Amino acid sequence: MSEIPYKIYLSENEIPSAWYNVRADMKNKPAPLLNPGTGEPLKAEDLYPIFCEELSKQEMNNTDAYIDIPGEVLDFYKMYRPSPLVRAYCLEKALGTPAHIYYKFEGNNTSGSHKLNSAIAQAYYAKKQGLKGVTTETGAGQWGTALSMATAYFGLDCQVYMVKVSYEQKPFRREVMRTYGATVTPSPSMLTNVGRKINEQFPGTDGSLGCAISEAVEAATTQEGYRYVLGSVLNQVLLHQSVIGLETKAALDKVGVKADMIIGCAGGGSNLGGLISPFVGEMLRGENQYEIIAVEPASCPSFTRGSFVYDFCDTGRVCPLAKMYTLGSNFMPAPNHAGGLRYHGMSTILSQLYDEGYMKARSVKQTDVFAAAEQFARVEGILPAPESSHAIKVAIDEALKCKETGEAKNIVFGLTGTGYFDLVAYQKYNDGVMDDYIPTDEDIAASLAQCPKLG
Amino acid sequence: MSEIPYKIYLSENEIPSAWYNVRADMKNKPAPLLNPGTGEPLKAEDLYPIFCEELSKQEMNNTDAYIDIPGEVLDFYKMYRPSPLVRAYCLEKALGTPAHIYYKFEGNNTSGSHKLNSAIAQAYYAKKQGLKGVTTETGAGQWGTALSMATAYFGLDCQVYMVKVSYEQKPFRREVMRTYGATVTPSPSMLTNVGRKINEQFPGTDGSLGCAISEAVEAATTQEGYRYVLGSVLNQVLLHQSVIGLETKAALDKVGVKADMIIGCAGGGSNLGGLISPFVGEMLRGENQYEIIAVEPASCPSFTRGSFVYDFCDTGRVCPLAKMYTLGSNFMPAPNHAGGLRYHGMSTILSQLYDEGYMKARSVKQTDVFAAAEQFARVEGILPAPESSHAIKVAIDEALKCKETGEAKNIVFGLTGTGYFDLVAYQKYNDGVMDDYIPTDEDIAASLAQCPKLG
């Protein structure tokens, strides 16, 4: 038998004491956020009315390679970290591949995903600034759940605007958030001006993520002692999520394994950016080479079919402009697309790295993703989230290529979370009624045509 | 800071290599199972038509203190074991108690509970005997989910009879089982004689656990190559679950901690029996003393208000008679009782130990249990199963007593699983519409009056 255990655990004192900021090692920094009115680059202070001050500074920090993780955040991390790096012996055997497959499992906490890594940091800085609470939006519900846990821990109020159709179709997500003390409001609501206006214009609307963002931002800026927080896309989020990659690298180093290939699912980029950051750092510094693959849904293919331009971060066009791979801020993936990975754009950091060739991207069809999810669940025991299963699909594809070539590649992928709240989608797959939807070139061109003419 | 980490992990080679059979150290063995027709004690061979041969032998084995865990079961254990023993620093802080609280967390696998420890063993022996598949019943769904994972791993067919009302109200439990390849049939069904008969007698019935057991047993004994398997109550199940207690003891020894008090929830006894077995072994051999508390729901109080007599194991009265603490095989807890812990009797091993004073028992009200669950979730991050939360409730009570007395007791409890599939109950609690139901003395006396006059 191999000496490498099924689960490679670090000890608690091997949790990283600092987050890694990959921007410090990037020769070409991500393009700055722009004021949507003036087109001028934003400064940290410009973000203070919306975000906590410390988080605004992290958002703009392109120079410090390491930022200390506060002790209180580290204490919370100890409740569920280090997360295991698992050697997928059973999957390898089932595939008959000579490849060695590893996955970093971030679903080992009640929120069920990696989102908690940034939620607890954002809640900590809100508490430190003396705020009463935070507001946010949630669609699929992973982020809202993580934030509720984090704010409960620090005794902060948490107001979640949940897209109305999700609020009604995912009552269990809603109930977990309530159990953690959050107020969950279906959006559009009658609590905000923007919500009332949309309800008036579109009576009986199901809501959208864009609308929920607008309501959460309004709620943050009109209540004393509140700020808005976000679970993906932002530089600060990728910074916090670097704990995933740092632990993965430490665990691989511990057993003397060099990754050949690193695979992660990509929606806004929070997981992928966190997972790959220390590895990309080595590439940027010329120390090492890795093959990195971002996997996105064929229904929302921002890397593989989008353009690298300045665009609005939200459908409502109230947020700053960011230069990113985007499908256009009006782009909406098909409603039958299950789970997250629905964002029209991609983290500016990842967009810059992709543009410079530091990673590849691949898009995969939904039914193929669920087939891979089920195959994985049956041999590895974990019921994966649909988001994570995008990475599983490509990891299996690559392991099967190794079977053909006889290569014993070390394949590492990010298993971002569990699928307990996605069983409606599993049911559709089990019943054989799950659709694959792929947008036409015309759909994407029409949406991209509405991007602002800048950059 | 203390030297004890938040999570005390054993390494994979510290997973026990043998289960511990507490019966070997019991001076007074559990009373034998009796043939319901003749009243004669059963032999292992008498069980072969229903259970696998190896499991039938384990059921009757009162002499071997250790039984080797097969290598293939150990390999599966390595996918999710050793499970963490967690020091509940955050709960201690929130309570302001000098007590040191530890919990053994068994929810870290997709089935979400400790049931997998026995499911994989039972599936292994079925595979080894060359069977095609197994049948079982499930109510709340934890056992059916665990068994589906185990049979998927060994490529066995799995037929689950799920109480019809659960099948309809818990579609997500059903979907997980289907994802793992199990056939899930609402009970009463039209697939068995007993099912057809009940459907004819009671058109539109919601079903019951007793009926589902009868259907599963009929399905096992009328199909070539099938046997019936069960997730609690039996001696073989407590044997397999001893892995919980063995790991707990090893982890405590590793950090030099002696438990003062061990607390576990008790329905049929699978978790409690497994958790306490090595500790009770020390008590039986006169090596050590522990205070052991079984916690049961006030709505189904077999230890605290039942009688220690021979009774039927199933409502349908087709299974053997067992001497146990029982409320009578006709006893049904209130339908508003959430989660498991609904069985009318208790493991014969635990019944014998309780009768001899090796443990105490306490019953707790449902709303108090959910209040404890929510308090725990908010500080320790894990959303507990309702079953597990019975133990949490008493652990908190005991820790608060320590606060009054100033004692720094070491309190250990079993956190058997997660509550992802119990959010309907959490919602009732959050909405303030959860009832407490406590059976009257007359209810229990009437049910007990129907026990057979034996023993």
The answer to whether A145 and A112 are in contact (CB under 8 A) is yes
Closest C-alpha among B94, B2, B114, B6 to residue B377: B94
Query: If you ran DSSP here, which 8-state letter would residue B199 be given?
Result: H
The answer, yes or no, to whether residue B94 has pLDDT greater than 70, is: yes
The kind and range of the H/E element at B200 are helix B193-201
Of B5, B7, B180, the CB nearest to A377: B180
Burial of A341 per CB tally in 10 Å (0-12, 13-18, 19+): buried
Does the beta-carbon distance from B79 to A6 stay under 8 Å?
A: yes
Residue with the two structure tokens 């259907």: B215
Does the beta-carbon distance from A175 to B421 stay under 8 Å?
A: no
**Which residue spans of chain B are classified as CATH 3.40.50.1100?**
7-14+81-112+238-448, 19-68+115-235
Pairwise CA distance, residues A266 & A264, whole Å: 6
Pairwise CA distance, residues B157 & B171, whole Å: 21
Structure token pair of residue A277: 């950051």
pLDDT of res. B358: 98
Neighbours of A368 (CB within 10 A): 17
Question: Considering the entire predicted model, what is its pTM?
Answer: 0.93
Closest CA of chain B from A147, distance in Å: 12
Does the beta-carbon distance from A5 to B90 stay under 8 Å?
A: no
3-class state of residue A265 by DSSP: strand
Pairwise CA distance, residues A292 & B153, whole Å: 31
CATH assignment of A7-14+81-112+238-448?
3.40.50.1100
Does the beta-carbon distance from B426 to A90 stay under 8 Å?
A: no
Structure token pair of residue B270: 């699978």
Task: Give the DSSP letter string of B32-47.
Answer: PPB-TTT-PBP-HHHH
Task: Give the DSSP letter string of B201-263.
Answer: HSTT----HHHHHHHHHHHHHHSTTEEE--SSSSHHHHHHHHHHHHHHHHHHHHTT---SEEE
Contacts of A412 (CB under 8 A, 6+ apart): A101, A102, A103, A104, A248, A252, A259, A261, A262, A263
Average pLDDT of every residue of chain B: 94
Q: How many helices (H) and strands (E) does chain B have?
A: 18, 15
- Reported ipTM: the value is 0.89
Alpha carbon A399 to its chain's center: 25
- Largest interatomic CA distance in chain A: 66
- A19-68+115-235: CATH architecture: 3-Layer(aba) Sandwich (3.40)
pLDDT of res. A455: 47
Question: Considering chain B, what percentage of its residues have pLDDT values greater than 90?
Answer: 82
Closest C-alpha among A286, A291, A285, A243 to residue A109: A243
The answer, yes or no, to whether residue B441 has pLDDT greater than 90, is: yes
Question: Considering chain B, what percentage of its residues have pLDDT values greater than 70?
Answer: 99
The answer, yes or no, to whether residue B455 has pLDDT greater than 50, is: no
- β partners of residue A183: A159
Query: If you ran DSSP here, which 8-state letter would residue A416 be given?
Result: -
The answer to whether A255 and A8 are in contact (CB under 8 A) is yes
pLDDT of res. B1: 42
Chain A contacts of B149, Cβ < 8 Å?
A: 378, 381
Structure token pair of residue B387: 């079953």
**Distances from the Cα of B337 to the Cαs of B5, B263, B286, B386, in angstroms?**
36, 21, 39, 10
Contacts of B288 (CB under 8 A, 6+ apart): B258, B279, B282
The kind and range of the H/E element at B105 are strand B100-105
- β partners of residue A87: A102
Contacts of B126 (CB under 8 A, 6+ apart): B52, B133, B134, B154, B156, B227, B229
Structure token pair of residue A362: 């691949």
Beta strands in A190-246 (DSSP E): 226-228
Let me know how long chain A is: 455
Does the beta-carbon distance from B430 to A178 stay under 8 Å?
A: yes
How do B291-297 and B360-364 pair as beta strands?
Answer: parallel
pLDDT of res. B368: 97
3-state helix, strand, coil in chain B (%, to 5): 45, 20, 40
The answer to whether A421 and A112 are in contact (CB under 8 A) is yes
pLDDT of res. A301: 95
Burial of B371 per CB tally in 10 Å (0-12, 13-18, 19+): middle
Does the beta-carbon distance from A5 to B78 stay under 8 Å?
A: yes
Low-confidence ranges of chain A (pLDDT < 50): 1, 455
Closest CA of chain A from B208, distance in Å: 25
Closest CA of chain A from B424, distance in Å: 7
**Residue A116: closest CA among chain B residues belongs to which residue?**
B381
Q: List pLDDT tens digits, range B316-357.
A: 677 889 999 999 988 877 777 777 788 889 999 999 999 999
**Residue A183: closest CA among chain B residues belongs to which residue?**
B430
pLDDT tier at B2, thresholds 50, 70, 90: low
Residue with the two structure tokens 């997360």: A83
Closest C-alpha among B84, B227, B213 to residue B157: B227
Residue spans of alpha helices (H) in B255-365: 270-284, 302-305, 348-355
Give the strands of the sheet with A183-187, arranged side by side: A183-187, A157-163, A133-138, A226-228
Chosen for mutation from A179, A370, A375, A428 (greatest number of chain B CBs closer than 10 Å) is A179
Q: Which residues of A touch B (CB under 8 A)?
A: 5-7, 9, 11-12, 76, 78-80, 90, 108-110, 112, 149, 152-153, 171-172, 175-176, 178-181, 374, 377-383, 418, 420-421, 423, 426-427, 430
Pairwise CA distance, residues A275 & A286, whole Å: 19
Chain B contacts of A374, Cβ < 8 Å?
A: 179
Structure token pair of residue B450: 């129907």
Pairwise CA distance, residues A150 & B378, whole Å: 9
**Distances from the Cα of A5 to the Cαs of A9, A108, A263, B79, B308, in angstroms?**
9, 18, 21, 10, 46
* A119 phi/psi in degrees, rounded to 5: -60, -45
Q: Give me the sign of the Cα torsion angle B1, B4, B9, B13.
A: positive
Task: Give the DSSP letter string of A201-214.
Answer: HSTT----HHHHHH
Residue with the two structure tokens 């405590």: B252
pLDDT of res. A303: 97
The kind and range of the H/E element at B397 are helix B386-405
Q: List pLDDT tens digits, range B64-90.
A: 999 999 999 999 999 999 999 999 999
Does the beta-carbon distance from B423 to A172 stay under 8 Å?
A: yes
pLDDT of res. A1: 42
Q: List pLDDT tens digits, range B353-400.
A: 999 999 999 999 999 999 999 999 999 989 999 999 999 999 999 999
pLDDT of res. B302: 95
**Residue A152: closest CA among chain B residues belongs to which residue?**
B378
